Amino acid sequence: MNYVFVSPHFPSNFKYFAVAMKKEGITVLGLGSESFDSLDQELRESLTEYYRLENMENYDQMLKACGYFTFKYGKLDYIESHNEHWLELDARLRTDFNVNGFKTSDISSVKMKSRMKQHFIKAGIPVARGRVVPQIDDARRFIDEVGYPVCAKPDSGVGASNTYKIRTEQDLVDFYKSKPSIDYIMEEFINGEIHTFDGLADKEGNVVFMNSFIFGTGIMETVNESLNQFYHNQRDFPDDLLDYGLKTVKEFQLKERFFHIEFFRTTEGKLIALEINVRPPGGLSLDMFNYAYDIDIYRKYALMVAGKDIGDFPKAKYYCGFVGIKKKIDIDYEVARNNAYDRFGNLILSDGPIATVFSAALGDYAYVLRSEEFEPLRDAADYILSLS
């Protein structure tokens, strides 16, 4: 079993995929631009071989590397990064080397929000009204239908980068004056929390692990308004979330991969689909799976890749929460950390800085909390947030 792991060093906890796969007898072939000596020792010891490239954005170099791996080890069975940035590159390599998984022809459905919306509708799942708006007059006609405020997002891509909340005609004019020369989709603004349906689908498309997070603050607001972040898992799945989540996995034909599907839970209690991400949720979420369910999600993935029994379907044993802090220069965070541990140290599993690439959405410094009951978790999160 030959598994090409694209950029196996980032984020740092992804090394545990390589560690787990090696233990299951899988040949793990690393592909990245970092020097081998700079990689974490545990990661180095888990890679059968590592091919360093000067520029991973240069597709010819990537093609040559996978060609070398094929010549030396035989047919490649997996090419995967679990990373949004390399999603299209992974698919292109799978296409050229005839490897199972999303191919180039599949990518538009999981990258373009307008295409995602069509799939959600086909599956019978409510969506926010929206359309691509190339010109300001297109946007005005749409706003005449739904009213202000609206959200403007790049049609291709996921996350809250370059996403805007438009409240007035002047906001609209300003947006089109500075809008990048890419397609934007405009959607009606939905009031509500983000509830996710996350998990892992096996080789047949069966969901063999699932989780749900509730975000107290939307990612768009967190990024654009530089807000702190708190999110936590749900221990029990509402029926509508389970129904829509499983329908989404089936509609998008997800197999042998993680997924992170976002819904709005409106103030009226209804679910409305937001978007799908065909990779694990970001930041420390994989580790939070382990903490909440008392499992090793990396090993479960490795067992699936190896074609072995993945074990029982786990149920959440704990509430697990993430508190992300946007640092301010007038606060002594070492004192704040000591205070947090003095009061809630029994609930804090870990804390530390967040990688810069994630900090806009998740904060500069984070705490991971765990509790058998939700109220102590909520109290700890509120206290930590009050210190910032």
Which tens digit of pLDDT belongs to each residue from 122-149?
999 999 999 999 999 999 999 999 999 9
**Pair (69, 138) in one structural domain:** no
Q: How far is CA 276 from CA 212, 279, 322, 357, in A?
A: 14, 9, 21, 20
CA angle 276, 278, 152 (to 5 degrees): 35
CATH number of the structural domain spanning residue 179 = 3.30.1490.20
- Let me know if residue 380 belongs to a domain: yes
- Calpha distance 217→192 (Å, rounded): 9
Upper half-sphere CA count for residue 65 (Cβ side, 13 Å): 26
- Calpha distance 288→231 (Å, rounded): 11
- Let me know if residue 110 belongs to a domain: no
- Encode the chain (388 residues) as per-residue pLDDT tens digits: 999 999 999 999 999 999 999 999 999 999 999 999 999 999 999 999 999 999 999 999 999 999 999 999 999 999 999 999 999 999 999 999 999 999 999 999 999 999 999 999 999 999 999 999 999 999 999 999 999 999 999 998 655 568 899 999 999 999 999 998 899 999 999 999 999 999 999 999 999 999 999 997 656 565 556 679 999 999 999 999 999 999 999 999 999 999 999 999 999 999 999 999 999 998 899 999 999 999 999 999 999 999 999 988 899 999 999 999 998 877 888 999 999 999 999 999 999 998 888 888 788 999 999 999 999 999 999 999 999 8
**Pair (240, 378) in one structural domain:** yes
Closest C-alpha among 218, 270, 214 to residue 243: 270
Residue 332: both structure tokens together: 């002594």
- Calpha distance 284→297 (Å, rounded): 12
Provide the pLDDT for residue 226: 67
Domains: count for the chain? 3
**Pair (170, 209) in one structural domain:** no
The three-state (H, E, C) secondary structure of 331-345, written as one string: CCHHHHHHHHHHHHC
**Pair (210, 323) in one structural domain:** yes
Residue 94's domain comprises 2-104
